[in-house]
Structure 1
């Protein structure tokens, strides 16, 4: 019986271990996005914020657990689906893939210092230079 509780507890911990927050540059004039809007941004279909500012999309490596959690939790997609979308856009000449950053710390710095930027980080108390965007259905 204790093993069942341990397994259930571990499963809950694993799901929340890499809970992600969508973050933007502080000047972005949005407080929330729907899943559909977020997908449009990350599939590179939405190029501008409502005020006309160019959206700069940043991601972590496809193998990064935070990226995997973001894709599944926020976009409700698998990471390989995002990769296919970006490859199609790039190889067809219709656009370019998002900028891939090396670490979560680099994500924090780049998004905080790039106008129009959007990215994601692991849920954290240290969000002073970033704006958290709430994702709704």
Structure 2
């Protein structure tokens, strides 16, 4: 049983939340992270606009991020983003095809946030710690 629990905790930490270096936040709660990725929080504490980068719905890392970090399923995020887009009340995140494109997008976009695998090189971005 203890071995199984160890596997669960290591899976949960396999995804790192990253941000552009000019983002001052170093820690977010799961609730804050969920508000950002559901496009309900569109500015950082310093009033800087948040730009959200995500991978396609079917990407394994997106599934892991959604379930482990946001505690949501990808289809729930899609519904929220579609409702915002089609109602004209907001915009969906920027979807990129690869983790390299996501990392580059966050690096080059002030105020950006995204996620990568823990093992991926993270030069030019900073990791945001997620607390419950």
Partner Cα separation in structure 1 for residue 12 and residue 130 of structure 2: 19
RMSD: 2.0
Distance in 1 (CA, whole Å) between partners of 2:71 and 2:93 is 18
Query: How many residues are aligned here?
Result: 128
Indicate if the aligned counterparts of 1:33 and 1:135 stay in contact, CA closer than 8 A: yes
Q: Is the 8 A contact 2:12 2:68 kept in 1?
A: no
User: 1:133 aligned to 2:128?
Assistant: yes
Distance 1:91 1:73 in 2: 28
Counterpart of 1:78?
73
Match for residue 5 of structure 1?
none
**Conserved? CA contact 2:15–2:116, under 8 Å:** yes
Secondary structure of the structure 2 residue equivalent to 1:74? helix
* SS of aligned partner of 2:70: coil
Contact 2:12-2:69 at 8 Å conserved across structures: no
Q: How does 1:19-30 map to 2 (within 5 A)?
A: 19-30=14-25
* Alpha-carbon distance in structure 1 between the residues aligned to 2:55 and 2:95: 5
Q: Indicate conservation of the 8 Å contact 1:24/1:130, yes or no.
A: yes
Q: From the CA coordinates, give the structure whose radius of gyration is larger.
A: 1
Gaps of 5+ in 2: none
2:17 and 2:116 in contact (8 A); partners too = yes
Counterpart for residue 69 of structure 1? 64
Q: Does 1:59 align with 2:54?
A: yes
CA drift of 1:16 comes to 2.8
In the alignment, does 2:41 pair up with 1:46? yes
Equivalence for 1:103: 98
Query: Which residue pairs with 1:94 in the alignment?
Result: 89
Give structure 1 stretches of 5+ with no counterpart: 1-7
TM-score with structure 1 length normalisation? Answer: 0.87
By how many angstroms is 1:130 displaced?
A: 1.1
